[in-house]
Chain A
Amino acid sequence: MTDHKEFVQIRHAQKSFGALEVLKDISLTVERGQIVAIIGPSGSGKSTLLRAINDLDPLTGGEVWLDGVQVNRSLPFRQYEKHINQMRQDIGMVFQHFNLFPHMTARENVTMAPKMLKGLSKDEADALAREQLDKVGMLERIDYYPSQLSGGQKQRVAIARALAMKPKLMLFDEATSALDPELVDEVNQVMKKLAEEHMTMIIVTHEMDFAASVCDRVLFMDQGVVVEEGPPEVVFKSPEKERTRAFLRKHLEGAR
C-alpha cells in the first residue's frame, strides 16, 4: 500500500450509450479515508459514474485509478478479465436493490467470495462471517435466507458481504432508496460506523441530511457534468450555482 494522496482518481471520464452522452468529461479525486457524496437529479449519470469505477459500466473515454493502479487499463480480453477481477476484490459495492444471493444464507452470502477467491478455510470463513455480520448487527440472523429478512436487514447483510472482501473502497448506489422509511436509519448507522473507521467511500444518495452528516465532500451532478463540488456546509447551505440551488429547493419541497 502506497500513500497516494489521490487514492481514487477519475480522469476525464466520458461515457455514451449509443448517441446518448451520459458522462461528459468528469474528473474526481478522492483521498484515502475520504467520503464523497454524489447527488443530482434522476438520469444525471450518478449511477453510471459509480459503476464506471469498478467497470460495471465501462467508460468510453478517460481513466479510473485506484491506489496507484489503473482500473480500466486497456488489455487483451483474457488479461483484462484477470486484472479487473483482481481490482474488483478491492472495491466493494452496495446496490439499491441489495442483490443478495437468494439461494444462500447470510453466512454463505458473506463467505462465498472470500472462500472462492481467497481460499479461506471453513473455519476462517466462519469467523469472517461472524465478524462481518456482527459489525452490521446481523449476527443473530446468520443462517437466515434473504427472503426471511427485512429490506434493512438485507442491505446490512449486503454491506457485510462487500466488507468481507476487505475492500479498499466502498461504493454505495442509493443504498437506502428501496427501503421503507423506518428501515433507513439502521443502514445509515452502519454506513456511519464505516465512516468512523475511515473507510474510503463514494456514496450516491438522495438523502441530503445523511450526506451532510457523514461526507467530507459533495458533488452535485446534472446532465453528465459535475456542476458543483465542495464541503457539505457550502454545497448544501450556500451553493454557488443556480442549478444546485434549484435542485436543492425542489428536493427539499419533495421531502416535505
Chain B
Amino acid sequence: MDFDLIVRVYPFFIDAAGVTILLSALTALLGLACGALGAAARLSRFALARFVGATYVSVFRGTPALIQLFILYFGGPQIGIELDAFEAGVIGLGINAGAYMTETIRGAIISIDKGQKEAARTLGLSRWQAMYKIILPQAARLMVRPLGVNLNMLIKATALVAAISVVELTYTAQRYIGSTYKPFEMFLLAGILYMIIIYATGRAVAWLDRRVQIT
C-alpha cells in the first residue's frame, strides 16, 4: 500500500468527490421532479396519462442506466441533442432515477388509507384539496425512507458517468491508475469517499425521517 501516493493524489480526489456530490444533488432534484410528475401521471384519472406514466417507468427501469446514458450522450447528437458530458450525466441519471422515484412516491400515496380521502371528500374538499392537504402530507412522511434508498442507489449510479468521461470520482480514479499503475490504492480511495458521501446522506435521511414522523 502506497500511502505517500494516496496523500499526494487525495486533494484531486476531494475535488472529484465534489463533482460527484454536485452530480448527485442535481440528479436527485431532477429525479424528484420526474418522480412527482410520473406519480401524478400514474395516478391520473386519464387513461392516457396513466399509460404514459407506466411506460416511462417500465422503459427506464427495464433497461440499463448505462445504455440510457450512452444513447443520450453518444446517440443524442444524431437526433439533434447536443449535451456536454456533465449535462448528459445529470439528465440521463435524473430521468432514470425519476422512474424509480415515481414508484416510490406512488407507493406512498396509495398506501394511505382510503378512509382519509373519503373523510376529506365528505367534508367537501375537492380531489386536489384532499390530495395536498390530507394525502400528501401523510404520504410525504412515508416517502422519506424509500426515497433515501433511491438516493443511495442514485449516488452509486453516478459512477456510471465515468463512462462518458465526466470527471467525477470513478473517472478520476481511473485516470490516476493510468499514470500510477496502482488500481488498489486508487479505487480504495474512491470507494472510501463514496462511502463517506453515502453514510452522510443516510444519516441525513434518517434524521429527516425522525423529524417528520407524526408524534
Contact = CB atoms under 8 A, between A and B. Distances in A.
Contacts of A97: 115
B156 interface: no
Contacts of B138: 101-103
B214 A88 contact: no
A148 B214 CA distance: 11
A113 B123 contact: yes
A124 interface: no
A89 B122 CA distance: 7
Contact of B122 (A88, A102, A112): A88
B126 A145 contact: no
Contact of A101 (B119, B126, B127, B129): B119
A99 B137 CA distance: 15
Contacts of A99: 113, 115-116, 118-119
Contacts, number: 65
Interface string A3-18: 0000000000000000
B125 interface: yes
Contact of A85 (B125, B134, B137, B141): B125
A165 B124 contact: yes
A165 B123 contact: yes
Which of A93, A99, A158 has the most chain B CB within a 10 Å cutoff?
Answer: A99
Contact of A56 (B118, B125, B127, B141): B118
A102 B115 CA distance: 12
Contact of B125 (A91, A117, A158): A117
Given A99-B115, A99-B116, A101-B116, A113 B214 contact: no
Contact of B121 (A88, A103, A116, A147): A88
B118 A148 contact: no
A93 B134 contact: no
Contacts of B134: 101
Given A95-B115, A103-B137, A116-B129, A88 B124 contact: yes
A56 B138 CA distance: 22
Interface in A56-98: 56, 81, 85-86, 88-89, 91-93, 95, 97
Nearest to B123: A113
Contacts of A161: 123
A81 B125 contact: no
Task: List 4 tightest A-B contacts by C-beta distance, closest first.
Answer: A89-B124, A99-B119, A113-B123, A99-B115
Interface of A: 54, 56, 81, 85-86, 88-89, 91-93, 95, 97, 99-103, 112-113, 116-117, 145, 147-148, 158, 161-162, 165
Given A101-B138, A103-B137, 16 more contacts: A85-B125, A88-B122, A88-B124, A89-B123, A95-B115, A100-B119, A101-B119, A101-B120, A113-B120, A113-B125, A116-B129, A116-B133, A117-B124, A145-B214, A148-B215, A162-B122
17 contacts: A56-B118, A81-B126, A85-B126, A91-B122, A92-B122, A93-B119, A99-B118, A101-B120, A102-B214, A113-B123, A113-B125, A116-B125, A116-B129, A117-B123, A117-B124, A158-B119, A162-B122
